[in-house]
Amino acid sequence: MLLIRCPYCEEERPELEFRNAGEAHIARPTDIAAISDDDFEKFFFIRANPKGIIYERWRHVHGCARFFNAVRDTVSDKFVMTYKAGEPKPSKLPGVSK
Amino acid sequence: MSGAFRIGNAGRLTPARTARFTFDGKTYTGVEGDTLASALLANGVHLVGRSFKYHRPRGFLSAGAEEPNALVEISRDSARKTPNVRATVQELYDGLSAKSQNRWPSLSFDVGAVNDVASPFFSAGFYYKTFMWPKSAWKNLYEPNIRSAAGLGVAPDQPDPDHYSSRFAHCDVLVLGGGAAGLAAALAAAETGVRVIVADEQAEFGGALRFESGARIEDQDGWAWAQDVVARLKGMSNVRVLPRTTAFGYYAQNFVGMVERVSDHLADPGHDVPRERLWQVRAKRVVLATGAIERHMVFADNDRPGVMLASAARTYLNHYGVAVGRNVGVYTANDSAYAAAIDLKKAGVNVAAIVDLRDNPSGSLIDQARAAGIEIHDGRAVTRVGGKLRVSSMTVQPKNGGGERTIAIDALLMSAGWTPSVHLFSQSRGKVAFNDDKRFVPGTYAQDCVSVGACNGTDGLAASIDEAYAAGAKAAKEAGGKATKGNKPKVDADEIWSRGMLGSAPGAGPDTTVKAFVDFQNDVTAKDIRQAVREGMRSIEHVKRFTTNGMATDQGKTSNMHGLAIAADMLGKSIPEVGLTTFRAPYTPVTFGAIISHARGPLFDPTRRTPMHGWAEKHGAVFEDVGQWKRAWYFPQAGEDMHAAVNRECVAVRKTAGLFDASTLGKIEVVGPDAAKFMELLYTNPWEKLEVGRCRYGIMLREDGFIYDDGVVGRLAADRFHVTTTTGGAARVMNHMEDYLQTEFPHLNVWLTSISEQWAVIAVQGPKSRDIIAPLVEGIDMSDEAMPHMSVREGKICGVTTRLFRMSFTGDRGFEVNVPADYGQAVWEALWAEGRKHDAAAYGTEAMHVLRAEKGYIIVGQDTDGTVTPNDAGLDWAVGRKKTDFVGIRGLTRPDLVAKGRKQLVGLKTKDPKIVLEEGAQVVDNPNQPIPMKMIGHVTSSYWSENCGRSIALALVAGGRDRMGETLYVPMPDKVIEAEVTGMVFFDEKGERLNG
């Protein structure tokens, strides 16, 4: 069972309290009704499935109930960092080379 | 005397404290502190089981958790039966009852042993190759017969009456293994003041000190030192000492699963203590001190009872005071077996000879053996043993061939060397490295852990304790401990042995006739592994699966390295090139009881009951499970079956009125200055202009345009909506709303509150509904003019706050009375009393389903399946055409969603009105087409409608709305049913009864 740091509660809590909510940093287009089929496909259906660093959303569903973002390594399953919803994608990751 | 093989002055048990037990019905006497294995050996019993496949007689190989052979059934009573218990770890208690397994009619005469004679037919891959055709025979003929002939223990056939417990724990340093290294590490960590947990699978700590008679630490015997350290650790408030606790799984982020056997060793555990306790421990640092496991020698008939690991014989002698024979032989490829021979010799057991595969072995142990007068045959191999139910002789031959010599023995001690126990390290995703000593040892670490002592490939007590003490102190410091104040334990006398051999010895061939076992529990021989390579297996993963080597419940603790070496030899590759198979949890078998703990029976999943549950129960309701809810399904009266009860309930609702418990509906309050804007975005309908006090049926889509949920929404104030959801959708709709509010529309000033549990809901439906409610209501004008269909009012009922909805899920005049949950049953009873005056009925979910289907009202999740759009469901009217945005607006215009020929929801009327279609049945337009037919849709809802006097059904049919009046067909196994496509409304098509 993973330990996940909730950026709102500011502490590490067991995975049981959380639920994954898919890839992060996919914003709903503000003019969604007007976008092309291709753009809608990219927005709604296409997801990255990287081996390594993934940016994803989690919800502290059995805690503060907030959605937040996390950076996780899909190989080691380790959480690199977590940050609040709405904050920009971090450009530098702690402890990750490249 | 507790057994003829008990040696008076040896061992640590107290002979006077006897315990009686039975094995296969015969009564024996052992001593407190014995294992079942040591007690049986003390009585001269070596034959304890039959093997998995060949039914060969088997004895004890080991004295510990790695035991592959001595599996027995332990039973306390008819329900408390545990199969496949390793006799080597089962502690003896007075009255213990054990039984051998996999034999018939008896252990010494087993009919199944014919498999041993017929074994040329049962080679590796036999089952895969033989039982292939016909395919159907596998399920009915081959598998049941193979399963009854093979296999070990028999699963208990009654529910487990024992109880189990579960605990979570956190610590700074978790030490796994309580031998010399583990204790030194635990001591070093504990002295810094950090929180330490130290666990060991045995009843007593000490590990290999149990048998290492040559060890002296801090001026005392090694075992005594270990007990001394344990006593000190137990006295420290920052340390938890867990004996009888096996760490079986090492998971992500230093999360370790352990099972503590709390009462399996007690004669009378009583009912207050659990049988086992599951520990789920999160540690900042883990110290792995899991030791090493001795390997057997691979030669012909090496599985005969009496042939065992040298360390096991030494353990039985030095700890339990039991001699495994009176005239033992030794076969070894490393020094440690010499120590066993010397100890046995000193205890008065004759050592017939030591056969050493090595040429000219040297060292102090060899010198000591010679000095003790033990005959040593070096450069020689034991090529086979004599005896059937017990070993009687060993045949010795120079390893490169030459004259044979047969030596009489009654036990054979063997040692091919020691395999570091890297199981937990490997489970932690660490990568092992193959070192110069030909051992797999921890290489690259993946987690915050460290291996010390024998499991790290460190030889010798002094080196192990040095390494472990330093590692314990370092782990504690990394976990935030102070600098250690203690001193490293001083080792005064040591035993060092390393090296050994991997793979098969000369006695393992030729392949045609010889059985030299690699994996005892799965009956895998050296020949099987060679054959697997000859038949084309190249990867060790394939060899393993083809031969099943290492796949038994002992997970190849003694066999993996031998199997790997034999395969590598055949392939002409080095061992690391062939690779090591992956270690997986659990390290040793774990009971289901420990894992599920209290989560069984009614505690398996929460049961949700509505506030009116008790009333429904008292009035004879039959309940159905809807998710976690118990819902009243129907209320049968005397002599009624379900059909009759549902018909009566349906008729009563339309004739007078019915009361229905709708409390399970999901309810969410959407509040705030931007509440209407939020509703506009989350639902297809327009909300800004909905008047306060009015209701609207809302549809929620996912972004892809498919229906996600629906429900009636009431506007209580300009900034307050009372939203209802489907029963099953309550939690996910709340999650869906929160997701959008928090991440996509955070600019909206809105609060969401789940109020599902706060409000009980009593639906009163039917022409007399207003007459039933009105006398109990204060402060609400319920006239049609003041409170039309689809409106909501706040006031009081029976003196209690109510949100009174006028709405209908039956098509008749109807109300839903919301009251605070605590008053649900009281208000229900008051309404019921009024209802009785009008001949109203209580109705359940089945009648509710029929009544809504009569009106073509859909149920999301039954008539829709996640691929249905509002248009498909005939609900286009509920989509706000002028809206510029809502979740799903773009999805609705996807090419596939606007294409012609989509499945649309329609009604179906069977030509024979008495036939009720089956829900889920497929629909075709030409019943005479060849099979497989083209299916154009399926039935989603289907009922007998007493009000319509016929069956009714809803179905999703391709191009359904263009097929009105067409005849379609529903093929069933025994007949084809004709049905006409109709509209979805079967009753009161004009909708006049809403105000009736």
**Closest CA in chain B for residue A13:** B282
Q: Is B899 on the interface with A (CB under 8 A)?
A: no
Q: B742 vs A67: CB contact, 8 Å cut-off?
A: yes
- Please determine, for residue B141, whether its predicted confidence score (pLDDT) is greater than 90: no
Q: Which residues contact B139 (CB under 8 A, 6 or more apart)?
A: none
Cβ of B280 within 8 Å of Cβ of A1? The answer is: yes
Residues B868 and B988 in one domain: yes
Cα B636 to Cα B249: distance, rounded to the nearest angstrom: 52
The set of long-range contacts for B625-632, using a CB threshold of 8 Å and a minimum separation of 24, is B626/B664, B626/B727, B626/B728, B626/B845, B627/B727, B627/B728, B629/B664, B629/B727, B631/B661, B631/B664, B631/B727, B631/B844, B631/B845, B632/B661, B632/B842, B632/B844, B632/B845
pLDDT digits (tens, 9 = 90+) for A11-59: 999 999 999 999 999 999 999 999 999 999 999 999 999 999 999 999 9
Contacts of A37 in chain B (CB under 8 A): 894-895
Distance CA B578, CA B600 (A): 44
Domain boundary among B740, B755, B770: B755
Give strand pairing partners of B905.
Answer: B956
Structural tokens at position B650: 């349906």
So what's the pLDDT on residue B113?
78
**pLDDT in the model for residue B154:** 85
What's the confidence (pLDDT) of residue B109? 81
Residue B659: the pLDDT is 98
> Is the model's pLDDT at B483 over the cut of 60?
yes
**Shortest CA distance to B213 belongs to which of B327, B347, B306?**
B347
pLDDT of residue B304: 97
Residue among B772, B750, B782, B764 nearest B833 (CA): B772
Contacts of B100 (CB under 8 A, 6+ apart): B23, B24, B48, B49, B50, B72, B73, B107
Q: Which helix (H) or strand (E) holds B905?
A: strand B903-910
Q: Min CA distance, B761 vs chain A (Å)?
A: 26
CB contacts of A57 in chain B (<8 Å) are 743
pLDDT at B99: 94
pLDDT digits (tens, 9 = 90+) for B102-128: 887 788 888 777 777 777 666 666 666
Nearest residue, CB atoms, A67 vs list B253, B739, B890: B739
Give the count of beta carbons closer than 10 Å to the beta carbon of residue B816: 25
Residues B744 and B861 in one domain: no
Task: Dump pLDDT digits (tens) for B815-834.
Answer: 999 999 999 999 999 999 99
Span B588-611, mean pLDDT? 93
Across the interface, of A21, A40, A66, the residue whose CB is closest to B890 is: A40
Longest dimension (CA), chain A: 43
Are the beta carbons of B255 and A32 separated by less than 8 Å? no
What stretch of H or E contains B345? helix B336-346
Q: Is residue B744 part of a domain?
A: yes
For residue B669, the cross-strand partners are B722, B753
Which residue pairs, CB below 8 angstroms and at least 24 apart, start in B832-835?
A: B832/B615, B832/B659, B834/B771, B834/B772, B834/B773, B834/B775, B834/B776, B835/B657, B835/B659, B835/B764, B835/B768, B835/B772
Task: Encode B882-902: b = buried (16+ Cβ within 10 Å), e = exposed.
Answer: ebeebbbbbbbebeebeeeeb
State pLDDT tens for residues B537-549.
988 999 999 999 9
Q: Give pLDDT tens digits for B496-515.
A: 776 788 988 887 666 667 89
Q: Does B746 touch chain A (CB under 8 A)?
A: yes
Q: What is the CATH number of the domain that holds B722?
A: 3.30.70.1400
* pLDDT tens-digit readout, B828-871: 999 999 999 999 999 999 999 999 999 999 999 999 999 999 99
Cis check: omega of the bond before B161, within 30 degrees of 0? no
Q: Cα(B46)–Cα(B864) distance, rounded to whole angstroms? A: 66
* 8 Å CB contact of B889 and A37: no
Nearest CA distance, A89 vs chain B (angstrom): 14
- State the CATH number of the domain containing residue B937: 3.30.1360.120
Residue B147 confidence class, pLDDT cut points 50, 70, 90:
low
The answer on pLDDT for B339 being more than 50 is yes
* Phi, psi dihedral angles at B291 (to 5 degrees): 80, -160
Which of B74, B100, B115 delimits the end of a domain? B115
Residue B996 CA to residue B767 CA, distance in Å, equals 6
Residue B945: inside a domain: yes
Which site among A30, A35, A62, A67 would you substitute to test the B interface, given the most B Cβ atoms closer than 10 Å to its Cβ?
A67
Do B751 and B862 belong together in one domain? no
Q: What is the pLDDT of residues B89-100, one digit of tens each?
A: 999 999 999 999
DSSP string, B33-89: T-BHHHHHHHTT----EE-TTT--EE----SSTT-SS-EEEEESSSS-EEEEEETTT
B359 vs B847: CA distance, rounded Å:
89
Residue contact A59–B704, C-beta within 8 A: no
The CATH number of the domain holding residue B45 is 3.10.20.440
Q: How many CA atoms lie within 13 A of B50 on its CB side?
A: 26
Q: Do A86 and B280 touch (CB under 8 A)?
A: no
Considering only the beta carbons, identify the residue of B446, B889, B895 that sits closest to A76. Answer: B446
Q: How big is the CA angle at B991 (ends B986 and B994), to the nearest 5 degrees?
A: 120
Structure tokens at B456: 């790290």
Which member of B743, B884, B893 has the closest CB to residue A67?
A: B743
Instruction: Tell me which chain B residues have a C-beta less than 8 angstroms from the C-beta of A44.
Output: 703-704, 891
Interface contacts (A, B; CB < 8 Å): 53
Which residues from chain B sit within 8 angstroms of residue A16, using beta carbons? none
Domain presence at residue B874: yes
- Position B445 confidence tier, pLDDT thresholds 50, 70, 90: very high
Q: With pLDDT > 70 as the criterion, what percentage of chain B qualifies? A: 96
* Phi-psi label, residue B748: left if phi above 0, alpha if psi -120 to 50, beta otherwise: beta
Taking residues B920-926, what's their average pLDDT?
97
Does a structural domain hold residue B127? Answer: no
CA distance B952 to chain A (A): 38
Report, as an integer, the average pLDDT of B560-571. Answer: 94
Using CB atoms, which residue from A1, A21, A86 is nearest to B739? Answer: A21
- Residue B868, domain member (yes or no): yes
Residues B733 and B861 in one domain: no
Distance from CA of A92 to the nearest CA of B (A): 22
Its domain, for residue B926, covers 857-995
Sheet holding B393-398, edge to edge: B380-386, B393-398, B405-408
Contacts of A85 in chain B (CB under 8 A): 742-743, 746
Q: How many domains does chain B have?
A: 3
pLDDT at B582: 82
**Segment B664-694, tens digit of pLDDT:** 999 999 999 999 999 999 999 999 999 999 9
Q: How far is A69 from chain B (nearest CA, A)?
A: 10
- The mean-pLDDT minimum among A90-94, B201-205, B621-625, B728-732 falls in A90-94
Q: Strands, E, within B289-426: which ranges? A: 292-294, 307-309, 327-332, 350-356, 376-378, 380-386, 393-398, 405-408, 411-415, 418-420
Answer yes or no: are the C-beta atoms of B459 and B498 closer than 8 Å. Answer: yes
Structure tokens at B325: 């024979």
pLDDT in tens, B2-21: 789 999 889 999 988 999 99
> What confidence score (pLDDT) does residue B134 get?
66
Which residue type occupies B256? Answer: V
Report d(CA B63, CA B40) in Å as an integer. 12
A76/B890 CB distance under 8 A:
no
Q: With a cut of 50, say whether residue B607 has pLDDT above it.
A: yes
Residues of chain A in contact with residue B431, where contact means CB-CB under 8 angstroms, are: none
d(CA B124, CA B118): 14
Question: Is the Cβ pair A3, B280 closer than 8 Å?
Answer: no
Helices (H), B448-554: 461-478, 526-534, 540-547
pLDDT score of B914 more than 70: yes
Asked whether the beta carbons of residue A27 and residue B739 sit closer than 8 angstroms, the reply is no
Q: May I ask the CATH architecture of the domain A3-84?
A: 2-Layer Sandwich (3.30)
pLDDT of residue B511: 65
Query: Could you count the other beta carbons within 10 Å of the beta carbon of residue B598?
Result: 12
Q: What is the mean pLDDT of residues B523-549?
A: 92
Name the one residue in this structure whose structure tokens are 């496509």: B981
CA pair distance B845, B827, nearest whole angstrom: 20
CB contacts of A65 in chain B (<8 Å) are 738
Q: Would you call A33 and B282 a contact, using CB atoms and an 8 Å cutoff?
A: no
Residues 6+ away with beta carbon under 8 Å from B912: B977, B978
pLDDT, chain B, mean: 94
Cβ separation of A67 and B746 shorter than 8 Å? no
Q: Does any domain span residue B735? A: yes
If residue B676 lies in a helix (H) or strand (E), which one and from where to where? helix B675-682
Contacts for B930 with CB less than 8 Å, ≥ 6 apart:
none
Predicted pLDDT of residue B779: 95
Is B584 a domain residue? no
- Give the one of B429, B743, B890 whose C-beta lies nearest to A35's C-beta: B890
Cβ atoms of B981 and B960 within 8 Å: the answer is yes
Helices (H), B711-870: 730-739, 769-773, 824-837, 845-854
Q: Which of A20, A40, A47 to mutate to test the interface with B (most CBs of B within 10 A)?
A: A40
Structure confidence by residue, pLDDT tens digits, B303-323: 999 999 999 999 999 999 999
What is the nearest CA distance from A3 to chain B, expressed in angstroms? 7
> Which residue of chain B is at minimal alpha-carbon distance from A33?
B890
Cβ(B310)–Cβ(B415) below 8 Å: yes
Strands (E), B471-596: 491-493, 517-519, 524-525
B989 lies within 8 A of chain A by CB: no
Closest CA to B922 of B957, B968, B970: B970
Tell whether the model's pLDDT for residue B344 goes beyond 80.
Answer: yes
Chain A positions in Cβ-Cβ contact with residue B891 (cut-off 8 Å): 40, 44
Q: Which run of H or E residues covers position B117?
A: helix B114-117
Chain A residues with CB-CB distance to B under 8 A?
1-3, 14, 21, 27-28, 32-33, 35, 37, 40, 44, 57, 59, 61, 65-67, 76-78, 85-86
Sign, CA dihedral B885-B891-B897-B899, equals positive
B841: left (phi over 0), alpha (psi -120 to 50) or beta: beta
Query: Do both B864 and B991 map to the same domain?
Result: yes
Which residue, B736, B755, B774, sits at the end of a domain?
Answer: B755
pLDDT at A98: 47
Placement of tokens 């530098």 in the chain: A92
B887, closest residue in chain A (CA to CA): A32
- Would the pLDDT of B443 be above 50? yes
The answer as to whether B850 is a domain residue is: no
What is the DSSP secondary structure assignment for residue B539, as one 8-state letter?
Answer: S
B741 pLDDT more than 70: yes
Whether B423 has a pLDDT exceeding 50, the answer reads yes
Question: Among A32, A57, A86, whose Cβ lies nearest the Cβ of B890?
Answer: A32
- Going by C-alpha positions, the residue among B390, B310, B378, B379 that lies closest to residue B345 is B310
Contacts with A, B 945-984, CB within 8 Å: none
- B917-941: average pLDDT: 96
Residue B554 corresponds to which amino acid? D
CA angle B95, B100, B102 (to 5 degrees): 155
Chain A interface test: which of B280, B732, B743, B897 (most A C-beta within 10 Å): B743
pLDDT digits (tens, 9 = 90+) for B241-275: 999 999 999 999 999 999 999 999 999 998 899 99
Q: Where do the DSSP E strands lie in B150-305?
A: 165-176, 196-199, 216-217, 220-221, 239-242, 245-251, 255-261, 276-288, 292-294
Q: Is B429's Cβ below 8 Å from some Cβ in A? A: yes
Q: What pLDDT shows up at residue B24?
A: 96
Count of CB atoms situated within 10 Å of the CB of A54: 17
Instruction: For residue B44, give the nearest of B4, B71, B7 by alpha carbon.
Output: B4
